[in-house]
Amino acid sequence: MVNSHGSHTASVQQLVAQGLLSAREVIDAGLDAGLDAVGIASAAPFESTKVNLLERQAKGLHGGMAFTYRNPARSTDPAYTVPGARSLVVGALSYRPSSDTGCTTPDVSHIVSNRPLARVAAYAQRDYYAKLRSGLSHVADLLHQAGHKAVVVADDNALVDREAARRAGLGWYGKNSNILLSGKGSWFVLGSVITTAPLESARPVSDGCGSCRRCMDGCPTGAIVSPGVVDARRCLAWLVQAEGDFPEQYRVALGDRIYGCDDCQEVCPPNRRATTAATVTTASETQASVDLLELLAMNDEELMDSYGRWYIPRRQPRYLRRNALVALGNSNRGSHPEVAATIWRYMNHDDPMLGRHATWAAQQLGLANQPCNIPTEVA
């Protein structure tokens, strides 16, 4: 059973007291707690998903990504997390900012007194997972009160959340492998409550993409190699999170991004028609862009305080600086005195990886052969 609207009635407390809860009461509890859509699926193992993970891992398509690839047997079987699991209550929360065009990450590199800025993908502009977990926790509390085990998993390698959402009837797999919710698009973070409660399951919805391949054609690196299959080794959203040097062949394609990439979602017709937007009280709640010079002047503690909610490899701020240097190299701001000074300093950085990326940025901006007597220390 799936729903994206409704209200939680007083009769629920009577059902809890009797140890009885219907799928409807559970769904309405999630919606009342602020989730945008809620569905219920069986907690049976995701056998076909496990096969897909293992096959893509064998082909190297995971690009070194761990997450649900770390232990496919666990991430495709809810009973690993909750022994005796019977059901999954799957919740979706919108992170799509209000927009007339469906474009959530506009080019911002030209604004703010010519200071170079970099874009942040929509899902990372604020901590949407905190609200998602809160809504799911409300559902889990209700299930606990009714005498069932219930564990929240969100942004967690314990479960392949997209397959859970598909099973729960929330949507279908787009060709970019994201889940598209009927009439709402794919601008959603997903999570589940794994529970021992026996609840009526929804039926998966049919594919809604048809012959459309705009996401495949719109990917700047050609990372969507076939419908539903993404080669992480080419995907900018993964490469900004991966360890090591940023692949040189994809640095220009990164453009003015520093974290994430929304291109395949922005060109998606269902997303451009979607009306469900994230609830944001003030503009200050979101961070759509980053001042690159400001970031590159920060020390480690300041960087983690500002951006620690993002996935940063091994929690090492050097990777944020790496991404920033690539974006700076694409900024066309070589004549900006602070840009030149920042790049020259990083060319002599103690971290060889940052030195290599600064040298690349200098070459992009025509600064590589200019004389420099700037101190080598970088905050």
Cβ partners under 8 Å of residue 136, min gap 6: 30, 33, 35, 89, 91, 152, 154, 191, 192, 193
In three-state secondary structure terms, 328 is helix
From CA 91, how far away is CA 191, in angstroms rounded? 5
- Strand order of the β-sheet with 37-42 is 2-3, 37-42, 87-94, 188-195, 150-154
**Contact by Cβ (8 Å): 267, 214:** yes
Which is nearest to 22 in space by CA: 190, 141, 143?
A: 143
Contact 276, 189 (CB under 8 A): no
- Quick check: helix, strand or coil at residue 257? strand
Is 127 a catalytic site residue? no
How far, in Å, CA of 261 to CA of 269, rounded?
A: 17
Question: Torsions phi, psi of 89, nearest 5?
Answer: -100, 110
**Diameter of the chain measured on Cα atoms:** 79
Catalytic residue among 28, 32, 100, 155: 155
Sign of CA dihedral 233, 238, 244, 245: positive
DSSP H stretches of helix in the chain: 11-17, 23-32, 47-58, 72-75, 128-145, 161-167, 214-218, 236-239, 251-254, 263-266, 269-273, 292-297, 300-307, 318-329, 337-347, 352-365
Positions marked active-site = 155
